[in-house]
Chain A
């Protein structure tokens, strides 16, 4: 079944540890995104990539890094986790169209991360 997979499903992490959240899509979408969801704040964009080999910063990039070595994978790394990074993390992808119309974003199931 086509879609987006994320791993792990959930994780409890000690502060200061390094963590990589994995995201893989099989829809051959050009664009991929990482969001965090916190209660009362909706989803906020962390980083994005419009095509393999390029990345950009979103609304809340500090403390996170990404890479886009190929079309399918878009890992998110927390170099040194802090408790404020406790959140639910969603990966998404969309088809990058020149007209920019109706390119809905497809979301993965999310990763629940707790930093203690």
Chain B
């Protein structure tokens, strides 16, 4: 079974609008971590935000926030006031238990239109 599912292969958003990128996960562990990474066209992987399974509040990092709904097993990334530079691939990833390994989703390609 797919551990991380990103159902939106591509999204197109107008500049300055907010955008939500979906991520659902599957795990039986009580302790896990969820990550979002950005990959611009230059290819590097950039860490954006982290949410721990025991964290009671949703994580926020500047314009990025994570809408964590534990019962639904979803960890959606919200980007407020999108900018042209936000155009990139976005990957959701999960770390289970004490393992350090990450499992990645297939990614969502976000395009911000001026």
B104/A100 in contact, CB under 8 A: no
Q: Which one of A59, A90, A104, A110 lies within 8 Å of B50 (CB-CB)?
A: A104
Interchain CA distance A48-B35 in the complex, whole Å: 18
Interchain CA distance A35-B103 in the complex, whole Å: 10
Chain A residues with CB under 8 Å of B107's CB are 42
Q: Which one of A41, A50, A58, A96 lies within 8 Å of B106 (CB-CB)?
A: A41
B11 part of interface (Cβ distance < 8 Å) = no
A84 part of interface (Cβ distance < 8 Å) = no
B50/A88 in contact, CB under 8 A: no
Interchain CA distance A67-B109 in the complex, whole Å: 34
B98 part of interface (Cβ distance < 8 Å) = yes
B33/A45 in contact, CB under 8 A: no
A110/B100 in contact, CB under 8 A: no
Interface size counted on chain A using CB atoms at 8 A: 28
B104/A44 in contact, CB under 8 A: yes
Chain B residues with CB under 8 Å of A92's CB are 45
Chain B residues with CB under 8 Å of A64's CB are none
B101 part of interface (Cβ distance < 8 Å) = yes
B40 part of interface (Cβ distance < 8 Å) = no
Given A42-B104, A45-B102, A94-B100, is A100 in contact with B31 using a C-beta cutoff of 8 Å?
yes
Q: Which chain B residue shows the least CB distance to A40? A: B106
Q: Which chain B residue shows the least CB distance to A95? A: B100
Interchain CA distance A17-B99 in the complex, whole Å: 34
Q: Shortest CB–CB separation between residue B79 and chain A, in angstroms?
A: 18
Of all A-B residue pairs in the complex, the 5 with the closest CB atoms, nearest first, are A107-B45, A42-B104, A43-B104, A42-B106, A104-B47
Q: List 15 A-B contacts (CB under 8 A).
A: A31-B100, A33-B102, A35-B104, A42-B4, A42-B104, A42-B105, A44-B104, A45-B103, A100-B33, A100-B99, A102-B33, A104-B50, A105-B47, A106-B47, A110-B43
